[in-house]
Amino acid sequence: MSERIYLLLGPETGAKEQELKDIRGQLREEFGSEIELSRFYPFETENGEILTVLNNNSLFSDHRMVILSQAENLNAQMAQALAEYLAHPVDTATLIIISSELSISQKIMKVVPRKNTKTFYDLLENQKTDWIRNHFRRMGLSITGDAIDLLIDVTEDNTQELRTICNQLALFWQLDKRNRPIEEDDVETYVYHSRQEDAFTLFPLIARSDLKASLQSLHVILGSGDSQTSILLVSGLLWQFRRLLSIQELIGQGTSAQEAFSLAEVQGKKSPIRKPKDKTTYQSGLRFYDLTSLRLIITALAEADVQVKEAGSEMTEIVLEKLIYRIIKGKGQPFATAAFASFS
């Protein structure tokens, strides 16, 4: 019965999601397509709700797949209760415990079979390059090394986000029926400046400190319903504010604005600003956000990055509204309270 317990650890979201799909596929083959699925977070099961679902047979299916996410946040009492269940699990349910950390409560880890415990690490730099190149190759497309580097700059390490942004670019490319390899400028055109509302249409509004328009844009972006939208949004804003910070630092060292645009970097990688429209956006950002503000804003974005990954979908919008208010009105300073809800 212990075969019905899995522990998926580590920060690499995409591979863990694929593992979940594989487990569900195996269960469907074994029990038929009607597998009942339930997902819990620690804050939802403080009174043992997950144990009730595990132990009570379903009226609608022969087997239940129960997922516990963010298991690193389990309190000691719930960890003990789960460990006791894991010692004597039912055979009518499969429990998958997930954490972005590399370890959780030892009470749980020592009970889960070793072969059912898997750790998924972030992709290494060369792995990301190979993954992107192979992903486009499977779609019959090729991409240059510079274009790959730029895609890596604006995405995180996990394959789930990489897949989302690569599929978006591939769709644009195929609609235009281009036959040559995808190049760096194409990434900028089709990803940064696509007609869709995203981090790269939101940033100019934030750069000119327009709170109302920024919040309106945010609501349009979140209206897509894509589970990865909020993660892509924060990482895209973080990339652009790091770029703006590098320009502000260069200017503070005596470099002219025009030269600073050509020398802009993001985490040590060159990211020059060439297009007049982009220069106008970053000039606005330089006026409204000084060095101190930009460093605070980058901290705020890093905090929000963690929050949107941990928050349930119902909380994501609030987290991001507070973030934009903190950037525009607080210049990165945290607020004890914020009356952001009055803007729409």
Q: Is the domain of 132 the same as that of 99?
A: no
The single-letter DSSP state of residue 123 is P
Q: What is the CATH number of the domain that holds 318?
A: 1.20.272.10
The count of structural domains within the chain is: 2
Q: Is the domain of 198 the same as that of 279?
A: yes
Start-to-end CA span in the chain (Å):
52
The 10s digit of each residue's pLDDT in 162-198 is: 777 888 788 778 776 778 999 988 887 776 555 467 7
Token pair belonging to 274: 């060439």
Whether 24 shows a pLDDT value over 80: the answer reads yes
> In the prediction, which pLDDT does 338 show?
40
Contacts with 114 (C-beta within 8 Å, 6 or more apart), sequence order: none
Q: Is the domain of 114 the same as that of 69?
A: yes
Q: Which of 76, 100, 119 is the last residue of a domain?
A: 119
Averaged pLDDT of the chain? 83
The 10s digit of each residue's pLDDT in 248-301 is: 999 999 999 989 999 998 877 788 887 778 899 999 999 999 999 999 999 999
Strands 63-68 and 93-98: parallel
Whether 318 shows a pLDDT value over 80: the answer reads yes
Q: Residues 165, 191: contact at Cβ < 8 Å?
A: yes
Across the chain, the runs of DSSP E, i.e. the strands, are 5-9, 35-40, 63-68, 93-98, 117-119, 265-266, 269-270
d(CA 69, CA 133): 31
Token pair belonging to 65: 């797949």
Q: Which helix (H) or strand (E) holds 66?
A: strand 63-68
Whether 102 shows a pLDDT value over 90: the answer reads no
Range of the domain at 78: 2-119
Q: Is the domain of 105 the same as that of 133?
A: no
Q: Is the domain of 167 the same as that of 286?
A: yes
Q: Which of 87, 119, 151 is the last residue of a domain?
A: 119
Q: Is the domain of 215 the same as that of 98?
A: no
Q: What is the CATH number of the domain that holds 59?
A: 3.40.50.300
Percent of the chain's residues with pLDDT above 70 = 88
User: For residue 110, what are the CA distances in angstroms to 13, 69, 70?
Assistant: 23, 18, 18
